[in-house]
Chains A and B, each alone.
Chain A
Amino acid sequence: MIHPFIFLEWLEQQLHLHIGNHVTYTWLVMALLILVAVLVKRSITTIPSGLQNFLEPVVDGIENMIEETMGHKGKAYFPLIATIAFFILTSNLIALIPGFFPPTANLNTNAAIALTVFAMTHIIGVKEHGIGYFKHFCGPVMWLAPVMVPIEMIGHLARPLSLTLRLFGNMYGHEIVLMIFFTLVPFLLPLPMMLMGVMVAFIQTFVFMLLAMIYIAGSLEEAH
């Protein structure tokens, strides 16, 4: 139910490898991002031009958003958030090019990113508050703790699940809808769906990034 021809899969078959589309395309996205980063870094100037002109507002925007949602302390986690944002956005957008498979339309890639965020929130929490971080799980008053701890545990465990499934469902569902439209009416009808695909790519990146920021901000703040 994906693009009928995927060029990295074809390359894999020629080389007799069995890696999986989502892994090879993750490597492709990584290579693309590293290439762009190296190209921009090499020609960095005070008066921006070309690619730097385009990337500076984007990085600036992400930085401002982090400052708004996470406060002053959140600036330390800019690399994590920005990397996740760039990776997800690029992998979502390559879905619209024929012959490309979006790595985010596979559960494994999304689970990897979501579990990274999940682990990071708790690592940051312990780093920031020490052992007192576990007061976060105990609720407002101490005698409520036996009730609150299981609820909080389920709430925290649902986070990576919902992050994974939301991104996966959106990207995979869009792929399937597009392919069904292509088989029904190949002429002009899939175009509005592709426009919606661009919107979905941006919105899902934004939502994933924002949720990651909110989760980290939640473990940064003091326990009530």
Chain B
Amino acid sequence: MEFFAWCMIAAGFGMAIGSFGTGLGQGLAIKSAVEGVARNPGASGKIMTIMLIGLAMIESLAIYVFVVAMIILFANPFTDTVVQLLNK
């Protein structure tokens, strides 16, 4: 049964670490974008689109972690083996 407990822990901690880095990255991106807009409000439209694309790119890192967490939780390839070993 420990296997499943470790699966939960891995999924939770993985998501936490993944979103930590993503949060830092997105914060930096938004900081620069806001600074840019404050200096030159005329360019806000262009900065906005570029920032959104960049944010989506950075976000995909957290999304990968999320996909891996979902695989660990719901589609774990080792579940059957572990259950078989438990039944022995």
Interface positions of A (Cβ within 8 A of B)? 162, 165-166, 168-170, 172-173, 203-204, 206-207, 210
Contact = CB atoms under 8 A, between A and B. Distances in A.
A216 B7 CA distance: 40
A166 B60 CA distance: 5
28 contacts: A162-B60, A165-B60, A165-B63, A165-B64, A165-B67, A166-B60, A166-B63, A168-B67, A169-B60, A169-B63, A169-B64, A169-B66, A169-B67, A170-B59, A170-B63, A172-B70, A173-B66, A203-B52, A203-B55, A203-B56, A204-B56, A206-B52, A206-B53, A206-B56, A207-B53, A207-B56, A207-B57, A210-B53
Interface of B: 52-53, 55-57, 59-60, 63-64, 66-67, 70
Contacts of A169: 60, 63-64, 66-67
A20 to B, nearest CB: 16
A54 B60 CA distance: 31
Nearest to A107: B67
Nearest to A163: B60
A164 B36 CA distance: 32
B81 to A, nearest CB: 23
A84 B60 CA distance: 20
A204 B63 CA distance: 12
A120 B57 CA distance: 22
Given A165-B64, A165-B67, 12 more contacts: A162-B60, A166-B56, A166-B60, A169-B64, A170-B63, A173-B63, A203-B52, A203-B55, A203-B56, A206-B52, A206-B53, A207-B57
A204 B57 CA distance: 10
A46 B18 CA distance: 53
Closest 5 CB pairs of A and B: A169-B63, A207-B56, A166-B60, A169-B67, A173-B66
Nearest to B52: A203
A173 B55 CA distance: 17
Contacts of B53: 206-207, 210
B49 to A, nearest CB: 8
A207 B58 CA distance: 12
A217 B18 CA distance: 31
Contacts of A172: 70
A159 to B, nearest CB: 12
A173 B67 CA distance: 8
Contacts of A166: 56, 60, 63
Contacts of A203: 52, 55-56
Residue among A162, A166, A172, A206 facing the most chain B CB atoms (10 A cut-off): A166
Contacts of A168: 67
Contacts of A204: 56
